[in-house]
Amino acid sequence: MILYLLHVAFLIAICLIFYKLLLQKETFYRINRWVLLACMPLSFLLPLIRVPQQWSADPIHQMAVAKVIPPAPVILPEIENQINIPAKPKPTVNKPLESKQTLNPAMQNVVPPKTPSFSEKMGAWLKTLDTVLLMHWLFIIYITGVVIFSLNLLVQLAFTLYQAYTRPAIIDGAYRIVELSNDKVPCSFLNNIFINPEKYEWETYNLILLHEKIHARQLHSIDILLSELVIILQWFNPFAWWYRKELENNLEYLTDEAVTVKNDVDASSYQLSLLQVSVPQFSLRIATNYNQSLLKKRILMMNAKRSNFHTMWKYFMLVPVFAGLVCTLNQPALSNNLTTVSNSQRLIDTAFKGDITGFWYANKEKDVLNMDMKIVINGKDMSYNGFTFPVKDLTELPVNKEGKFVLNRNAGTVLFSGKFEGDQGLGRFKMTFNKSYIEYLDKCGIKNTDADPLIGLLVQNVKESYIKCLLNNGFTEIKASELSSLVFFKVDENDIKFWGQAGLRDFTAHDLLTTKLGKVDSGYLKEIRDVGYPHVTFQELRRLKADSVTGSYIKELILARQAGKRTNDTADLKPSINEITTARYMHIDSTYLREIAVAGYNLNESQLRSFKTFNITPDYIKDLQNLGYAKIPATTLLSLKMQKITPEYIRALQGAGYTNLQLNSLTQFKAWDITPAYIENFKAIGYAHIEPNVLVMLKMQKITPDFIKGFKDLGFTNVPINEFIELKNTGVTPEYVAAMKQKGLVSTDLQKYVTLKNSFN
């Protein structure tokens, strides 16, 4: 049970990582929703699948790739001495091979070993502990957590439904609008919408209702409940909690898109309503919140460029990912001719001593012999695939006749017996290790010198001189499995000497492997150091190489910054490694950086990413500067772009008489949708020079030129513009004044009507 839950936890983590890396930034929110929903049940169902034996990936090979170890017969530490093997074959009388016989009789009783599943690998590690006691307590702790989180969900459901059906509610078609009296954020659960109507203006209130109705109509509460069930079963898994958060975020992006695009709501007004609703009090976790405390992300996603359909390939990548996980981690189905294996059997005891015997099958391709071996150690057997030997390293092969041939290595000798028919052969072998070689390993402090690592050392022909070279160049903490990997990936003595003398801190034998695989060589290190980074770390070097950063690219970035340098500029013109990789990732070229720098912006990593994301171009900055905004801070410039304040909009306002607007007034004008046409309408009724802050207040109070014209028609012709704000706040309208005049209150002083209105209120 515990092992199954760990398997599920691993799959949830993989699904989350896949989503974060490939899908999170895509604006296909509806597809993302179904992907996130589908991954939850799949994570629980996939571990139950048994894959056909022929589809099952070789676990040793898979672990080797993950650890950068060649596909040699090396038992990794986490499964060492724990791999399940078949029962010892019954003794048989060996007979000489006949000309048409394909297999020695003794091999006919040998049962291929069962490939260990993911759960069995985890179980192998657990066996090093007191298994019974450990599993007992783990199960108790797990069940306790399940009970606690189940009760928590039930309490939330009960309280939410209690509020829904005990508080006053308005039936609006299929929806129930439940009126709250506290400061809770508006939210919805199923068809119930919870809101305090007294807290919001009418426009904001309608936007909130529209938002929550979309949540209810699209049944987003079902998504939340499913994620809660996953958390109950995976409460110990931090990725499950993170997964739930990403699912909620995507639901908010999906709803925001429906509000602003499909319902044709002005994005600026809608974003402003988000700001007005943003408060620290949150509603119950099972409800879909209007705010969700991710305001910045939501605004960024609303302003993000829509994803292109050419990126749809990312979604199809999920199929091979799941297929690979099933083939790699799941236990294969046993064939009819395989015997059930006892979990208590072990391959080999530690501190191996002695020879290894078994059977071989080989196929000759040109000058290479590809060989599979069934190795028998201490009476136990296990199959290995993928041995490759140059034919020149072997003595003469016995073709069409019984014979022997030998493979001599520094680590030992393999004596083969059998025969080849054409390019295919089979027979027996005996592997003997050199005592002096093992003693040398022990003297050098090489770890993991049991049978499996020794086989890897022999197969890859790891020589004592090679080990000595590693030690002399500072690589002292070495494992036997790493030695065979280094040789397999052709890390030669020149590589070892260079990296040993390169001066990089904490450089290990494992780092040697990753530099070779990542094609990070001495020339690349010199290239990066020569452009001004003499103290680059190994991790930074590997990251630069992975992002295809060249020395010439870095030079271009530095020159671009120098182009914008001022006389008194003390900023460091050399970009950091993070800034370099960010620029490369965002496809930022030197021309863009140079023009941005000339405009007066030497940006850090975060600012550079934001400028590129919101498409702040040098032309955009130049247009603003030509309009009189010469020194706009980077953060303010980003805010202007986010609110879609364009040079054309500013020119239109200047044409309407607002030539020296401060930046904060400019952003307020845009937020409240104050247009040149709105200003011209006030000019038409005699209000030509309204202060910017007063104009914003008029817009906030929804005071229109028609509202003012109504008072003029009643004879109030010289009313200060500020006074209309007070009239609107107290509810004194032209209709109200006309009604009072009909009742006998006739006055040329509007304040008398205000006093009368206040007395009634």
| Beta-bridge mates of residue 389 | 369
Which has the minimum average pLDDT: 108-117, 512-521, 683-692?
108-117
Q: What DSSP character marks residue 266?
A: -
* Domain housing 467: 454-546
Mean pLDDT of the chain: 76
Query: Domain for residue 364, yes or no?
Result: yes
What pLDDT, in 10s, does the model give residues 469-496?
988 888 888 888 888 888 888 888 888 8
Query: Domain for residue 591, yes or no?
Result: no
Strands (E), 87-197: 169-172, 175-179, 187-189, 192-195
Q: Output 643 or 405, whichever has higher pLDDT.
A: 405
Indicate the pairing of strand 175-179 with strand 192-195: parallel
DSSP calls for 187-226:
EEETTEEEE-GGGS-HHHHHHHHHHHHHHHHTTHHHHHHH
Nearest of 295, 319, 424, 309 to residue 362 by alpha carbon: 424
Structural domains counted in the chain? 5
Taking the CA atoms of residue 266, residue 267, residue 272 and residue 278 in that order, the dihedral angle to the nearest 10 degrees is 130
Residues 288 and 373 in one domain: no
Query: Domain for residue 326, yes or no?
Result: yes
What pLDDT, in 10s, does the model give residues 229-279?
999 998 888 998 988 888 888 888 888 888 877 776 766 667 666 666 654
Residues 428 and 474 in one domain: no
Residue where a domain terminates, one of 448, 477, 511: 448
Kindly list the distances between the CA atom of residue 621 and the CA atoms of 600, 616, 645, in Å, as whole numbers in the listed order: 10, 7, 12
What pLDDT shows up at residue 290?
53
Is residue 755 predicted with pLDDT exceeding 90? no
Residues 267 and 324 in one domain: no
| Beta-bridge mates of residue 70 | none
Containing H/E element for 241? helix 238-257
What pLDDT shows up at residue 303?
65
Residues 112 and 209 in one domain: no
> Which range has the top average pLDDT, 338-342, 587-591, 612-616?
612-616
Which has the minimum average pLDDT: 97-111, 207-221, 429-443, 743-757?
97-111
Residues 291 and 145 in one domain: yes
Residues 178 and 296 in one domain: yes
Residues 179 and 213 in one domain: yes
What pLDDT, in 10s, does the model give residues 282-328?
444 555 555 444 666 777 777 666 777 777 788 888 788 878 777 77
At 121, list the tokens.
């690998």
What pLDDT shows up at residue 81?
37
Query: Domain for residue 278, yes or no?
Result: yes
Is residue 415 predicted with pLDDT exceeding 90? yes
**CB 127: neighbour CB atoms within 10 A?**
15
Query: Domain for residue 635, yes or no?
Result: no
Over residues 193-203, mean pLDDT? 78
Residues 419 and 463 in one domain: no
Give dist(CA 519, CA 546) in Å, integer: 9
- At 395, the pLDDT band (50, 70, 90 cuts) reads very high
Residues 331 and 378 in one domain: no
Residues 394 and 478 in one domain: no
Query: Domain for residue 226, yes or no?
Result: yes
Residues 144 and 121 in one domain: no
Query: Domain for residue 573, yes or no?
Result: no
Over residues 43-61, mean pLDDT? 65
Containing H/E element for 66? helix 59-66
Residues 424 and 458 in one domain: no
Is residue 438 predicted with pLDDT exceeding 60? yes
Query: Domain for residue 533, yes or no?
Result: yes
